[in-house]
Every structure is written in structure tokens, then in C-alpha cells.
Amino acid sequence: MTTISIEIDDISARILNNYASLKKQTVEEYVYQALMKRLSDERTSHPNAATTQAIEDVERNHNIVGPFHSVDDLMRNLNA
């Protein structure tokens, strides 16, 4: 286990204590859950490397396949 120490002003500390109390949690539990949610949100809001590359390819009109004139045309290409 790792300990992380942060310094916050007294008003913020009281607010944090109040929110934790409302959830019937310790401040440590409340901060941990808030941090995990934020990290999860960050992961889902930022594309991975493959997605970033695909976006760049489309923007540069590079590695583009198609056009497809029907779903059958698309499926033939995907299954090739």
C-alpha cells in the first residue's frame, strides 16, 4: 500500500469531510472512490492508440478503404 499526502486549505477540508460524512465514509474512502471514478472517466474519454491512429488516417485521407455501395460490398471486403 502507498500513502499519498496532499495539502488542502481548511475550507476545502471541511467540505471534503462533510461530503464524506454524508456518504457515511471516511475521507480516505471518499477520496479514493472519487479518484477511481475520475480515472475511469479519463480512460473512457481518451481514445486508445489504435483509435487515435484511425482518426488521423481519416483526417489525412490515408489508409481509407471503400467506398462501399452496399452492405454486401462492405462484408465482402471485411471477410476477405
Going from N- to C-terminal start, the domains of the chain cover 10-79
Q: Tens of pLDDT along 27-78?
A: 999 999 999 999 888 877 778 888 889 889 988 989 888 888 999 998 998 8
pTM: 0.53
Q: Tens of pLDDT along 8-21?
A: 999 999 999 999 99
What's the mean pLDDT when you consider all of the chain? 90
pLDDT value of residue 17: 96
Is residue 19 within 8 A of residue 30, CB to CB? The reply is yes
DSSP per-residue string spanning the chain:
---------HHHHHHHHHHHHHTT--HHHHHHHHHHHHHHHHHHHS--HHHHHHHHHHHTT-S-----SSHHHHHHHHH-
